[in-house]
Amino acid sequence: MRKIVRAKNKERAAKRLHKLQLEEARDKRRAAREAEAK
């Protein structure tokens, strides 16, 4: 039982990390666009 929970937690952590990386990349692109617009 505990092994299943751990696997699910790992999955959730991986998804959260992926989401953070996507948001970071989006922010970097937005910052680059704003720098070009100025």
Residue ranges, the chain, pLDDT below 70: none
How far apart, in whole angstroms, are the C-alpha atoms of residue 27 and residue 19? 12
The pLDDT of residue 4 is 87
For the chain, the helix, strand and coil percentages under 3-state DSSP, each to the nearest 5:
95, 0, 5
Q: Maximum CA pair distance of the chain?
A: 56
The pLDDT of residue 3 is 86
Total-model pTM: 0.61
The pLDDT of residue 8 is 94
The pLDDT of residue 32 is 94
